[in-house]
Chain A
Amino acid sequence: MWKFAPYVFKSLWRHRARTALTVSGAAIALFVFTFVGAVQSGLAGLTGTEAERSLIVFQANRFCPSTSKLPEDYARRIARLDGVADVVPVKVFTNNCRASLDVVVFHGMPADKVRSARDLKLTAGDWGEFERRQDAALVGQALARRRGLAVGGRFSIGEVTVMVAGVFRAADENVLYTHLDFLQRTRGLNSVGTVTQFEVRLAEGADPRAACRAIDATFRGGPILTDTRPKGVFQARAVGDLAELIGFAHYLGFACVGLVLALVATTTVMAVQDRVREHAVLQTLGFTGRRIFALVMAESLLVSFAGGLLGVGLALAALAWKDLAVGAEGVSIAFRPSAGLAATGLAVTTAVGMLAGLAPAWRASRTEIVASLRSV
């Protein structure tokens, strides 16, 4: 089949404006498709299996982190409950409780817990500096790139100013970790003795639903009621409105696939209509219907794949460059580029290229030679 590659490429080059327009259209559609995919994969990341093994204890009937104020000493009582392996008090401070594309979320945690409860890989700075300085912070790589932060620099949001002691790589890179004490004592927050939430790690074999019920029952008669949920459920609820929008964007992805299909199919149909006589000549020379079918399919695939490659490549580059994340109520959804996403985009574009080529390729392969040779 490679012997015929020059013919396939030159046939596409013959109508280069048409080919370029189709490739561009497919590229734009696949760019959007990949972008939507990145958002959806970020949303899926919030509700993964790991998120099912951790619980979040929040103040009942509160949504924004700034309104949830749980007594810090709840931690001791939670730790005594069956099935609880560890409890981490977390003070959350965010620059924006509403949906935003530039969410900055501070997590104030005991320094030793940051190290043990989070899977962070430092790419710059060191743990020692973070543990020594009260105002030290570890900044997620994506956030650091987006805000231009580097080790040794200072970073302020409202009344909170921290010194960047390290930059880390992790699943969630739109978060900044600092000391719990520091965040509680910051002027303006004034929340010594209270935390926003507890993160509860369950022991092996513990039932998450039963643990949630047990925690909430413990504080039912207390001054502040709790609302405990598996981390995934909690995060999904926090970004509920956004999740609906992202769910709707799913249809946008399908529409993009449809657009590529229509574009490539139109181009291939036109290419076949233009070459009725040429295909008859090829058959006269001895090309079988199957070979003509393969040649037309190759053209359709190439156009679709080139557009897909361009669109997916641009989308991944843009996602990697901008480090975008959308967040609400202290939970952020990162738009993550990944090899899986690229593979999906390219698989979709390949499938669409094949689908778009089927009908015109079939038609070309069934050309009636004599009648077609007489056609103008």
Chain B
Amino acid sequence: MALVDIRRVTKEYRRGEQRITPLKDVSLTVERGDFVSLMGASGSGKSTLLNLIAGIDRPTAGEIVIDGTDITKLSRTQLAHWRAAHVGYVFQLYNLIPVLTAWENVELPLLLLPLSRADRQRRVGIALKAVGLTDRVDHYPRQLSGGEEQRVGIARAIVADPAIVVADEPTGDLDAETSEQVLDLLRRLNEELGTTFLLVTHDPKASAVARRQLRLEKGALLEPEAPRFTLRTGEG
């Protein structure tokens, strides 16, 4: 069974008198351990799709089944619990908590899970080692470079060992060299830890790191360029 199974998802909202449909009748599956990139121009609906998969937005129609759970049927509170255990989110602007150290930022999602202090410490240590930041654990976000902040953000996303990590333009705020390092880190985590990644980007270089590339245009998924994913746009 696919890890992510999106069935005929539509997202609509109103802005004044205008009805906007960033996603229309989109279907998609992603296998466990895959690394998928989602490309598209601004307003193509790629971030909307990512947010729906991350469970921080709700579709107007359709089903989103992740790891066997239809998250569209969960209440607001159930969805929060589900996010804590199943999704890691990497933000474009890192969004670290400024008053917490790198270590505390990475530990934050674990505080929501039934783990002992020792277990939390072990997991945070592993996550920070995976992103190569063991020497910066006591630093606050303001004391880190952009690349280091994003690596802390990635460590925070993988620390709870989620079913899927979604990344929204993770290199959008970084210079070319740092972007390459971050993308290489994501690729390595996917290969070595088997973490499933869904990456949203408008940068073809970033997209190329993924094993599968998808493109969204005006709310609809286009033909795949790679052969290993299933795409069912607008199927009946």
Contacts and interface: CB of A to CB of B under 8 A. Distances in A.
Interface stretch (B33-41, B107-115, B191-199): B107-115
Contacts of B80: 283, 286-289
Given A10-B99, A14-B98, A278-B97, A286 B56 contact: no
Nearest to B82: A286
A285 B112 contact: yes
24 contacts: A4-B111, A7-B97, A10-B99, A13-B99, A278-B95, A278-B97, A281-B91, A281-B97, A282-B97, A282-B108, A284-B54, A284-B83, A285-B112, A286-B80, A286-B81, A286-B82, A287-B112, A288-B76, A288-B80, A289-B80, A290-B77, A291-B112, A370-B57, A373-B95
Contacts of A369: 51, 56-57
Interface in A279-302: 281-291
A179 interface: no
A6 interface: yes
A328 B111 CA distance: 62
B98 A286 contact: no
Given A281-B95, A369-B56, A286 B100 contact: no
A11 interface: yes
Interface string A242-263: 0000000000000000000000
Contacts of A287: 80, 84, 112
Nearest to B157: A285
Given A282-B108, A286-B83, A286-B109, 14 more contacts: A3-B111, A4-B111, A6-B100, A7-B100, A281-B91, A281-B95, A284-B54, A284-B89, A286-B80, A286-B82, A288-B77, A290-B77, A369-B57, A370-B57
Contacts of A288: 76-77, 80-81
Contact of B99 (A14, A286, A291): A14
Interface of A: 3-4, 6-7, 10-11, 13-14, 277-278, 281-291, 369-370, 373
A283 B56 contact: yes
A3 B121 CA distance: 13
B104 interface: yes
B85 interface: yes
A295 to B, nearest CB: 11
Interface string B104-138: 10001101100000000000000000000000000
A277 B84 CA distance: 18
Interface residues of B, number: 26
A285 B109 CA distance: 6
A291 B51 CA distance: 21
A347 B177 CA distance: 58
Q: Which 5 pairs show the lowest CB-CB distances between chains A and B?
A: A286-B84, A10-B99, A288-B80, A369-B56, A286-B83
A240 to B, nearest CB: 56
Interface of A is mostly: helix
B83 to A, nearest CB: 4
A370 B77 CA distance: 16
A290 B80 CA distance: 10
Contact of A285 (B82, B89, B99): B89
Contacts of A291: 112
B56 A10 contact: no
A288 B78 CA distance: 8
A11 B57 contact: no
Contact of A10 (B51, B89, B100, B109): B100
Interface string B196-224: 00000000000000000000000000000
Contacts of A14: 98-99
B33 to A, nearest CB: 23
Of the candidates B80, B87, B104, B112, the one having the most CB atoms from chain A within 10 angstroms of its own CB is B80
A237 B199 CA distance: 82
B21 to A, nearest CB: 16
Contacts of A11: 99
A250 to B, nearest CB: 41
Contacts of B85: 286
A289 B56 CA distance: 13
B116 to A, nearest CB: 11
Given A7-B97, A10-B99, A370-B57, A289 B77 contact: yes
Contact of A6 (B89, B104, B156): B104
Contacts of A370: 51, 56-57
Interface in B42-82: 51, 54, 56-57, 76-77, 80-82
Contacts of B98: 14
Contacts of B89: 284-285
Nearest to B52: A370
A276 to B, nearest CB: 12
A280 to B, nearest CB: 8
Contact of A284 (B56, B76, B99): B56
Nearest to A366: B76
Contacts of B77: 288-290
Contacts of B99: 7, 10-11, 13-14
